[in-house]
Structure 1
């Protein structure tokens, strides 16, 4: 079952959201980036720990908020 997970990612610019896009494309998941609110929504059936670890590869501070 696919769930939409909401993460806080400390993004300040397009470059930051670009880094998020790059790491998430490797996972083959649907995602949406809300740069002004520093949120990333990921639609996936993968474990949240996998998503969190992937987002942390950007070097940004990442927090899992919960399911949307």
Structure 2
């Protein structure tokens, strides 16, 4: 299973809450690192699925890498 790392321009708990809501709909394991503005998602799904979902939050999203 891959861990996808994204940069999401989150500035507060409200921002991270919005990210959590869209990811919960995808039923994946994830971790939000608010201070570093990173979201780590564990899944075998394609990164583009998550990129599109994260963009729905209205935040700037950048794919960093897969571990």
**Same-fold status (TM-score > 0.5):** yes
Structure 2, unpaired ranges of 5+: none
Corresponding residue of 1:55: 54
- What aligned pairs does 1:9-48 form with structure 2 within 5 A after superposition? 9-48=8-47
Q: Give the structure-1-normalised TM-score.
A: 0.96
The CA deviation string for residues 16-57 of structure 1, in whole angstroms up to 9 with x for no partner, is 000000000000000000000000000011111111001101
SS of the residue 1:66 aligns to: strand
How many positions carry a matched residue from both structures? 67
